[in-house]
Amino acid sequence: RSKDAGGGVFHAYEPQLHVQAEERRVLEMALRQALAKGELHLNYQPVVETTTGSLSGFEALLRWTHPEHGAISPAKFVPLAEEARLIAPIGEWVLRTACKEAARWDMPVRVAVNVSPEQLHSPNFVTVVAQALAQSGLPASRLELEVTESVFLREGTGALTVLEKILDLGVRLSLDDFGTGYSSLGYLSRTRFSSIKIDRSFVQGASRGVKECIAIIRAVVALAQSLGMATTAEGVETEAELGLIQELGCSKVQGYYFGRPLPVEEARTVASHARRSAQAA
Ligand code: C2E
Ligand code: MG
Ligand code: MG
Ligand code: MG
């Protein structure tokens, strides 16, 4: 449009950039208050065992309902929180809330919590995790922390040491969005991850018949098996995708096919049903 109007590149983009910066500033200010105002809550998405179909646990996913703008995606506000140095307090709230809510479910399934690199590198992170467990009464074995490969990017930050301390608490670790970052197989063998989560993009690619995606999933499953780790396929939406994932040997699945992220009461109901069908079996 601006090209046709004869505007140069800078004229075309400057106002746009300005709006973005302004929008960011406003969002950042709102996010700063979101915690105190109770605008944050968690949803829980089921994770299921591929072979038995039984409930393995839930992943806690952060939600922000802005009073005017409505629901804002974590894909948008989590990076903003990271840049604005708000992720530590928000992440602490997520940990405490997830532990507290999961402790009340009547099925001892696991809860997985996403952890940002910023959070992991903050000096009191291990204490925060230990306190969230102690205050909620949730056994450490029921908590899993999801980190992405990017935690290993900043050398000398002691990420491995922090992860070791987390493991010493009895908490599990999983490697999220595997294959989308700077995969270093060295870190995989040096950290005791319980599970590698295969990013949705590979699942989607595989279901469209992209040979490379199928090959990568196969290789990751083989690698995980040889390291004694499980694999979780993310973003399984259809029966056909589930079939493919079963065939490729992923141990767990998560995705809209089994359930969307649910409000805590609904997750609780799902956990109760799972308990009953487990007892019936
Ligand atoms: P993630 O950890 O990889 O979470 C999985 C995302 O995939 C979630 O998006 C989930 O709703 C979505 N998803 C699950 N199944 C399907 C499916 O079948 N189809 C499709 N299209 N999507 C599916 P969500 O909730 O929007 O979260 C996006 C990302 O934001 C997360 O990706 C995670 O990186 C980040 N995030 C969410 N909650 C937190 C949090 O509490 N702390 C931190 N640090 N990051 C968080
Ligand atoms: Mg995750
Ligand atoms: Mg993921
Ligand atoms: Mg993902």
**Residue 69: predicted pLDDT:** 87
Is residue 237 within 6 Å of ligand 1 at its C-beta?
yes
Q: Which amino acid is at 124?
A: N
Decide which of 166 and 279 is more confident: 166
**Residue 42: predicted pLDDT:** 98
Q: To test ligand 1's pocket by mutation, which of 40, 43, 61 has the most ligand atoms within 8 angstroms of CB?
A: 61
Ligand 3 centre from 44 Cα, in Å? 13
Contacts of 228 (CB under 8 A, 6+ apart): none
Most confident of 16-25, 175-184, 259-268: 259-268
Nearest ligand 1 atom to the CA of 116 is 44
Ligand 4 centre from 75 Cα, in Å? 10
Task: Please give the mean pLDDT across all residues of the chain.
Answer: 90
pLDDT in tens, 187-215: 888 899 999 999 999 999 999 999 999 99
Of 162, 155, 46, nearest to 107 (Cα)? 46
- Say which ligand is closest to the CA of 144: 2
Is residue 144 within 6 Å of ligand 1 at its C-beta?
no
Band the pLDDT of 14: cuts 50, 70, 90. low
pLDDT in tens, 37-68: 999 999 999 999 999 999 999 999 999 999 88
**Residue 209: predicted pLDDT:** 95
Q: Whose CA is nearest to atom 27 of ligand 1?
A: 74
Q: To test ligand 1's pocket by mutation, which of 59, 114, 120, 174 has the most ligand atoms within 8 angstroms of CB?
A: 114
Is residue 176 within 6 Å of ligand 1 at its C-beta?
yes
Q: Whose CA is nearest to atom 4 of ligand 1?
A: 61
pLDDT in tens, 119-142: 999 999 999 999 999 999 999 999
Q: Does position 1 have pLDDT exceeding 70, yes or no?
A: no
Alpha-carbon distances, residue 17 vs 3, 148, 173 (angstroms)? 17, 29, 39
ipTM of the complex model: 0.98
Of 96, 98, 100, 112, nearest to 56 (Cα)? 112
Of 185, 221, 180, nearest to 199 (Cα)? 180
Is residue 92 within 6 Å of ligand 1 at its C-beta?
no
- Say which ligand is closest to the CA of 45: 1
Mean pLDDT within 230-246: 97
Mean pLDDT within 18-31: 85
Mean pLDDT within 259-270: 96
**Residue 7: predicted pLDDT:** 41
Contacts of 172 (CB under 8 A, 6+ apart): 110, 141, 143, 144, 145, 194, 195
Backbone angles phi, psi at 262, to 5 degrees: -115, 150
Band the pLDDT of 276: cuts 50, 70, 90. confident
Q: What percent of the chain has pLDDT over 90?
A: 74
Is residue 235 within 6 Å of ligand 1 at its C-beta?
yes
**Residue 8: predicted pLDDT:** 44
Nearest ligand 1 atom to the CA of 256 is 18
Of 74, 7, 4, nearest to 34 (Cα)? 74
Of 89, 190, 94, nearest to 146 (Cα)? 94
Is residue 73 within 6 Å of ligand 1 at its C-beta?
yes
Q: What is the pTM of this model?
A: 0.92
Is residue 114 within 6 Å of ligand 1 at its C-beta?
yes
Nearest ligand 1 atom to the CA of 82 is 44
pLDDT in tens, 248-261: 999 999 999 999 99
Q: What percent of the chain has pLDDT over 70?
A: 91
**Residue 281: predicted pLDDT:** 66
Ligand 2 centre from 78 Cα, in Å? 12
**Residue 13: predicted pLDDT:** 54
Q: Whose CA is nearest to atom 21 of ligand 1?
A: 235
Band the pLDDT of 182: cuts 50, 70, 90. confident
